[in-house]
Chain A
Amino acid sequence: MERIEVLKTYKIFIGGQFPRTESGRYYSLKLKNNMTVNVSLSSRKDFKNAVVSARGAFNAWSSRAAFNRGQILYRIAEMLEGRKEQFLEELKQLGYSAPKAKKEMEQCVDRLVYYAGWADKYQQLHSSVNPVATSHFNFSVPEPMGVVSIMADESTALLGLISVIAPCIVGGNTCIVLASENKPTCAITFAEVLATSDVPAGVINILTGNRKELHTHFSSHMDVNAVINSNSEKEFNKTIGENASLNVKRLFIWDKNWIDEKEQGPYFITDLQEIKTTWHPIENIGISGIKY
């Protein structure tokens, strides 16, 4: 007799844990092998829980050395590379052709490595020492915005998600990500990668569910500092923009073709950074000055 395959229950990822949605709701997704996956239909409460864990993780994550954040991103890439076969199979079940699946996986790993490398470099490109006219030392540096809510690209299972998470967290932010509604399984398997990659709990939280239902919550929560939608949805984006004004959230519509190699760069990192300027007086004694 043929062996019966053990199927996986797809959960969501909050604060380093894998709960099912507190709402108990699900939506069904038919895979290419005719099996059905019952995906968590996350609720507003799941999102709120995720914000609490993202906020809780922010201080420690943003205080890590930039070098360390780079190492952790690189570690995610290593783990992902090691589990490539599993992802290729999952992508196939979501309707990807074999070459398309292969290309997406390679790009996912490469993009993580790319941003890992930026961890301790974008600061040098975007900082400045400002030659003020008074006797002060004055410098400006980028700092993370805080908690970012992200509605990932609908058209890709993993690349769109990674292309936004990577620049977000490499800069010290923490995030809550809504996976592609029709291709959610890879995002949750990716959470398993994250859970074994030294990413501290709460830095990345991944939900599955319905964008129509959740976009209002992703944009209106008062403890979220920035909101990104990677989908050009005119109506949703108007509501997202209006809700963003409730607490002056930074808003980004990143409707990009993530397969394009050009859609990566330090500006995705610095868009999610604040610029902080510090002043300090320079004493004015010893004015005989430098002579040699």
Chain B
Amino acid sequence: MAKKEKKSLEFFTDWKYAPALESTDHIRLNKQYDLFINGKFVKPNSDKYYDTINPATEEKIARIADANAKDVDTAVKAAKTAYDKTWSKMPAKERAKYIFRIARLIQEKARELSVIETMNGGKAIRESRDIDIPLAANHFFYYAGWADKLEYAFPNRHPKSLGVAGQIIPWNFPLLMAAWKIAPALATGNTVVLKPAETTPLTCLKLAEIIQESGLPDGVVNIVTGFGPTGAAIVNHPLVNKVAFTGSTTVGKWIQKSIAGTDKKLTLELGGKAANIIFEDAPIDQAVEGIVNGIFFNQGHVCCAGSRLFVQESVADEVIHKLKNRLETLIVGDPMDKNTDIGAINSKMQLNKINEYIKIGLNDGADMYQSQCSIPKKGFFVKPTLFLNTSQSHRISQEEIFGPVLAIQTFRTIEEVIEKANNIPYGLSAGVWTDKGSRIFNMTQKLRAGVVWANTYNKFDPTSPFGGYKESGFGREGGLHGLMPYLKF
């Protein structure tokens, strides 16, 4: 039988969208942000500031304080005092009401927060508006309700708070990660010193304003901005009882090593290299959408990104053909445009790292396919990229790239794909696409990963526990299980 010619659409003729820019005139930003300690914005002891920029334009947005160890010490002591004098003594139901207030204030200011998130981080406004900000509010709302019900979550165990939680978060979901960290910590009766990522401090500082507005007692939440040494000062501070970190596996290992021999409790949510597995009986068009959502969501700056695609050989041609076609329809560019699918890479440093990995992929002999789209001259952008004919030994199939780069392998049998999917130090997430219910349950039992998305990908919810196996970290965030890391029994 003659092979049917595969049709491709031509997207560069009449498929242009008119720009649909989100307006920025309604947002309120200061030219300079100080540290949020003990309920007030205070100048850093270091006297040092750095510029935070818009990665889509490379323009400066504001000056941000760079906290040193002394600033961290002040913040931790404020948190300790607030814990001893106020927060640990407050009836749980009153504690809950403050957290509910924060949730509501985020909802009220959702549009402003979305715009700032996109300006500072580069993610498409569609994602900040529909995912990051609503989920952040929902997270506070969810955990607020737990505050006075902990005895039901852990019957007969008399859960108690730990004290001061030192929390360090990444730049890929700035406000959402702050919510994931702060909400359960407060609900369980702890106080917080949080450090946002150096490139994306703005929504966390807006959250500090919200916290002020909510009337939360001084010192219960402190937000200190800065770089690695600021984070190290938090981790190593003797009055910190709990460390929660989301970020790279390298830094996570350093933190685990640093606190060895202490009584500090630790949660790590680290890197990943998820297998997204397409079986031959999968609904192909939906699977292609799932592949795109898996790797191109948030420019691929997602620890649980489906960055390793495994396609069963019998459908590989069809899947890859459709995937390439779909790639051409993705709109890359101004993150503030409501049509944009893929926004700016978060920083110059990350852009260089992604480009380095693209070089490594080419040098290792994988076949590259990139969208023919054009990318803006200014700002940090990468074309969505596929690597075909990769194998397990390729570095792009083993190491976390944290960008819109997908390594594709094919497989024949279910045994083979389980073996390959698990044969990696990471274990954060995985995707499975098949029409067969029994196969989904087989796969979810065999895949050594904390989250398995079956016939879907990159879904998040405050009630759903999230976290890794193996070198992807330990402890869970979200759901009832997300309370445990902040309690002692």
Contact = CB atoms under 8 A, between A and B. Distances in A.
Given A244-B256, A247-B471, A277 B463 contact: no
Given A244-B260, A248-B253, A248-B256, A130 B461 contact: yes
Nearest to A279: B453
A248 B471 contact: yes
A242 B435 CA distance: 45
22 contacts: A130-B463, A130-B464, A131-B463, A132-B459, A132-B461, A133-B138, A134-B459, A138-B464, A140-B479, A143-B445, A225-B470, A234-B261, A239-B260, A244-B256, A244-B260, A245-B254, A248-B472, A276-B444, A277-B465, A279-B453, A280-B454, A280-B455
Given A244-B256, A248-B253, A278 B474 contact: no
Interface string A225-237: 1000000001001
Given A274-B469, A275-B476, A245 B257 contact: yes
B294 interface: no
Interface in B425-468: 425, 440, 444-445, 448-456, 459, 461, 463-467
Given A134-B459, A241-B259, A128 B454 contact: no
A276 B451 contact: yes
Interface string A207-250: 00000000000000000010000000010011111101111101
Interface in B234-293: 249, 252-257, 259-261, 268, 270
B464 A276 contact: no
A140 B445 CA distance: 11
A66 to B, nearest CB: 13
A247 B454 contact: no
Contact of B479 (A128, A133, A237, A242): A128
A263 to B, nearest CB: 13
Interface string A32-75: 00000000000000000000000000000001000000000000
Nearest to A242: B260
A274 B452 CA distance: 13
Interface of A: 63, 128, 130-134, 136, 138, 140, 143, 145-146, 225, 234, 237-242, 244-248, 250, 267, 274-281
A279 B463 contact: no
Given A128-B481, A242-B257, A248 B452 contact: no
Contacts of B231: none
B256 A275 contact: no
A143 B157 CA distance: 22
B480 interface: yes
A154 B81 CA distance: 40
B463 A246 contact: no
B12 interface: no
Nearest to B257: A245
B257 A132 contact: no
Contacts of B453: 278-279
Contacts of A244: 256, 260
B461 A134 contact: yes
Contacts of A276: 444, 449-452
A248 B464 contact: no
A248 B249 contact: yes
B270 A248 contact: yes
Given A130-B464, A132-B464, A278 B444 contact: yes
